[in-house]
Amino acid sequence: MKDNAHTTSRIADCRLIKLDKHHHENGNLTVVDNQDSVPFRVKRVFYIYDVPGGAERGGHSHHACSALLVAVSGCFDVEVDDGVERQVFTLNRSNVGLYVPPGIWNSLSNFSSGSVCLALASDLFDEADYVRDYDVFKQLTSCKR
């Protein structure tokens, strides 16, 4: 993490982003361009797959890193929490991503069989940027109450 500040985003800052879909008879193509398709420059890409039934992923927040989550295959739920409000988004289309800004707790669950979650992140991995304890997250977001 670049500094000790914790961004305090709101649920309203989370939003679905429709990615350009190019339809062809022989299959569709979706392109993600830095700062054109997503509201940040992508510095890291990873994907989550083979999630066992009933398992959850995520369960953290970031001080500074933003993410765009896309269900490139199958579907899953993303619960976002700003310390005051919560909302669940179901991702099930490979050309729609959920923008999760820093300061939002997120948990992924209800993965369908064969689902793949593509994550595009604004920063390289930095353990110091993670908030993995929900009680600490609540303290950091107490100014929203």
* pLDDT score recorded for residue 5: 61
Question: Based on C-alpha coordinates, what's the Rg of the chain?
Answer: 15
Query: In which domain, by residue range, is 43 found?
Result: 11-144
* pLDDT score recorded for residue 93: 96
For the stretch 84-109, pLDDT in tens is 999 999 999 999 999 999 999 999 99
Cα–Cα nearest to 18, from 98, 111, 101, 100: 98
Specify if 58 maps to a domain.
yes
- At 65, give phi and psi (nearest 5°): -80, 135
- Please give the DSSP secondary-structure letter assigned to residue 19: P
Specify if 69 maps to a domain.
yes
Specify if 6 maps to a domain.
no
Q: What is the pTM of this model?
A: 0.92
What Cα–Cα distance (Å) separates residue 34 from each residue in 37, 96, 101, 134, 135?
A: 6, 16, 16, 31, 34
* pLDDT score recorded for residue 1: 45
Specify if 2 maps to a domain.
no
Active-site entry in 24, 60, 62, 63? 60
For residue 23, the domain's CATH number is 2.60.120.10
Active site annotation includes 23: no
| Mean pLDDT, the chain, whole residue set | 92
Count structural domains, the chain. 1
What Cα–Cα distance (Å) separates residue 119 from each residue in 25, 38, 40, 85, 145?
A: 28, 12, 13, 23, 30
* pLDDT score recorded for residue 35: 72
Which ranges of the chain have pLDDT less than 50? 1-4
* pLDDT score recorded for residue 36: 82
Specify if 5 maps to a domain.
no
